[in-house]
Structure 1
Amino acid sequence: MAYPDDLLGDDEYVVVHKHPHWKILVFPVVVFLLTVGVCVYLAALVQDFSWRSIAWIALAVLGGVVIIWFTLVPLVRWRTTHFVVTTQRVMAREGVLTRTGIDIPMSRINSVRFQHGLIDRVFGCGTLVVESASDEPLEFDDIPQVERVHSLLYREVNADPDDDYYPQPRWEGR
């Protein structure tokens, strides 16, 4: 299912739909595993004491807060961040409680480039830089398969709007 179907025009199709690369979830997963490990270890240490119930409750509450703050919140933020290229515009949406978004019409885009360092190349992601009629370029970080997205966006920017070759979305990756 293409995102966001209700925001698309009648003759507009999704070309690319991406969430940020999964590499931004590595730290939250490590925090989750360490928190669970430390809490289980500490719970085992206090099992022979008379106040173990209070300690276990305190460990559960503390561990729960750490997991919610450092694992669940980044996971939800990752899941609700969207980078979408359609046949008529580039859209970026992010946020959970407070949503922000930007739409750039294809006709306003002057140039598209990408950049990725060694780590980004290993993970297969990078930063997409879109220069439009605005004052400064917009950077979209951690775009998976950034080179492919770059070439598809470049093709869309330079497409002839009179050509009727958009019967179906050509490529939609998640």
Structure 2
Amino acid sequence: MPYPDKLLADDEEVVRHLHPHWLTVFRPVLVLLLVVGGVSFGAALVPPGPEQGMIRLGIVAAAALLLLVLVVVPLLRWRTTHYVVTTHRLLFREGILARRGRDLGLARITDVSYTQTLWERIVRSGTLTIETAGDGGPTVLRRIPDSDGVQQLLAFMIEEDADRRAQEHAGYLRSDDGRPPAEGWYPTAVL
């Protein structure tokens, strides 16, 4: 069962599954090209001699370490960061070896806002700020692709979730024959 399907309840569906914006991986890819080019050029400049092989091996080993830290780790971090909007919740998962995650029920979300710089507007990225009831502060998600669209989607999904919960609650209050119970039966908290 693929991620995030294994995290879903029976009546829950994925509406949108996102990773951070593609510009997050632009710098690591640029570093990869520069390091490969620099190593090739540097290895070609090593003068012939008995130590030529060892010097080239040292250059390649240093480049491999550099690529691991500056390219592989950021790419893995991007690939293992998930923002998932479902019909019931908003899920965040991140981490390569150690994982960190958070689930926010749509019913608990009180406000969703986004901000974009001029550059982020051009590349269709932004920052989402999600406020929830009873929490210690807002949840801030940076480098979200199509942040304004995701903000609108979350607002829509929150309304849909509220409607679904109201229908479930109304169904719970109905009698076995499908009719509403007699007048005065409703608890005062529902009225």
TM-score, with normalisation over the residues of structure 2? 0.81
SS in 1 for 2:113: strand
2:91 is matched with 91
- Segments of 5+ residues of structure 2 without an aligned counterpart are 169-191
2:156 is matched with 155
Kindly indicate whether structure 1 or structure 2 has the higher relative contact order, using CA contacts under 8 Å at least 6 residues apart. Answer: 1
Q: CA deviation at 1:30?
A: 1.6
Question: What do residues 72-103 of structure 1 show as CA deviations (whole Å, max 9, x unaligned)?
Answer: 11101100100001111110000010000000
Q: CA deviation at 1:3?
A: 3.7
Tell me, in whole angstroms, the C-alpha distance in 1 between the residues paired with 2:52 and 2:119. 45
Between stretches 143-152 and 47-56, larger displacement belongs to 47-56
Q: Which structure 1 residue ranges, 4+ long, deviate > 2 Å from structure 2? A: 47-50
User: How many residue pairs were aligned?
Assistant: 164
Within 5 Å, which residues of 2 pair with 1:72-87? 72-87=72-87
| Identical-pair percentage | 40
Tell me, in whole angstroms, the C-alpha distance in 1 between the residues paired with 2:80 and 2:47. 41
SS in 2 for 1:30: helix
- Segments of 5+ residues of structure 1 without an aligned counterpart are 165-174
1:19 is matched with 19
RMSD: 1.6
Contact kept? 1:14, 1:86, Cα under 8 Å: yes
| Alignment partner of 1:117 is 2:117 | yes
Contact kept? 1:3, 1:17, Cα under 8 Å: no
Contact kept? 1:14, 1:84, Cα under 8 Å: yes
Question: What do residues 31-59 of structure 1 show as CA deviations (whole Å, max 9, x unaligned)?
Answer: 11111111111111114233110111001
- Opposite residue 120 of structure 1, the aligned amino acid is E
SS in 2 for 1:158: helix
| Alignment partner of 1:146 is 2:153 | no
2:127 is matched with 127
TM-score, with normalisation over the residues of structure 1? 0.89
Q: Which has the larger radius of gyration?
A: 2
Q: CA deviation at 1:10?
A: 1.0
